[in-house]
Structure 1
Amino acid sequence: MADCIFCKILDGEIPSAKIYEDDDVYAFLDISQVSKGHTLVIPKNHTENIFETDPEVAEKVFSRIPKIANALRKTYQPKGLNILQNNGEFAGQTVFHLHIHLIPRYDDDKDGFDLKWETHPDEHDLQQIADEVTKNID
């Protein structure tokens, strides 16, 4: 889709710090980095939200989650991990391309979902994190 920022990332028009890629799925660091390693997992074919997603596409995307989550755990040893997926503006979706947030949680995090979305590390820092995690993808 022409105006979709994630489609532009997939097309190489906008840079990203890639964590994982195969024929159907792309995972990259969220520019906000709520916590170190905060990753987005998306289907390569544009679909707006879970309501519009073909079950086979959902299966491909969600089946990659354990592999990527385990790489994050092996790399940074978080105390936990939130998996977050918003559907529709009312639910907090801001980019209308299906995406799943993997948010590692650490000792200094607050309890619950009091997440801070304003962190913006520079491209070098993002690429360093991506390189570290990518080494642990099995």
Structure 2
Amino acid sequence: MSRDPNCLFCKIVHGEIPSARVLETDRAIVILDVNPVARGHVLVVPRDHHPQLRDLPDELAAHAGSLLPRLTRAVVAATGADGSNLIVNSGRVAGQTIDHCHWHVIPRFENDPVDWPWPHEAYAGDEMGRMASQITRELGGDADG
């Protein structure tokens, strides 16, 4: 298991810092966020240390992803929420404050104070096609792949 001795989440995973765990597997833990957006806000934290989503091995991402539907159903039912957000902040510019990849499951309520949606801007001209080509090239294949 990879670990960063200075990482807050690694310390939580290894029991050095207390947490309110709601689910544990051999690959991840799920804890209540100590500073929640809304009561019931949980974090899915892989046991292995990987700073950002792009650093996460596909198999570990798949495992964490497999927990999300059941976890979201439980959070919504337990809180009586009207919906939920699933968020991964990857990198400081995206709002990541702890350099250990993790998912947020946040219960949402009608008329809650969370400001959503983010602003959007349409692609102009052939920008969309160029961007799709660049991403496909980085993926190392074609779009059918």
Q: TM-score band (shorter)?
A: 0.7 to 0.9
Matched residue, 1:59 = 62
TM-score (norm 1): 0.78
Matched residue, 1:71 = 74
Q: CA deviation at 1:32?
A: 0.4
> Helix, strand or coil: the match of 2:64?
helix
Q: CA deviation at 1:111?
A: 5.4
> Helix, strand or coil: the match of 1:68?
helix
Runs of at least 5 residues in structure 2 that lack an aligned partner in the other structure: 118-145
Q: CA deviation at 1:107?
A: 2.8
Match of 2:89 among 86, 90, 109: 86
Q: CA deviation at 1:109?
A: 0.5
Runs of at least 5 residues in structure 1 that lack an aligned partner in the other structure: 115-138
> Helix, strand or coil: the match of 2:112?
coil
The amino acid across from 1:80 in the alignment is G
> Helix, strand or coil: the match of 1:98?
coil
Match of 1:16 among 15, 19, 30: 19
1:89-104 pair list within 5 angstroms: 89-104=92-107
Deviations 1:13-67 (A, max 9, x none): 1000001101111000001011010000011111111111110010001110111
Q: Which runs of 4+ in 1 moved over 6 A?
A: none
TM-score (norm 2): 0.74
Matched residue, 2:53 = 50
Q: CA deviation at 1:113?
A: 3.5
Matched residue, 1:109 = 112
The amino acid across from 1:112 in the alignment is D
The structure, 1 or 2, with the larger RCO (C-alpha pairs under 8 Å, 6+ apart) is: 1
- Identical counterparts, % of pairs: 37
Instruction: Name the CA distance, whole Å, in 1 between partners of 2:8 and 2:18.
Output: 10
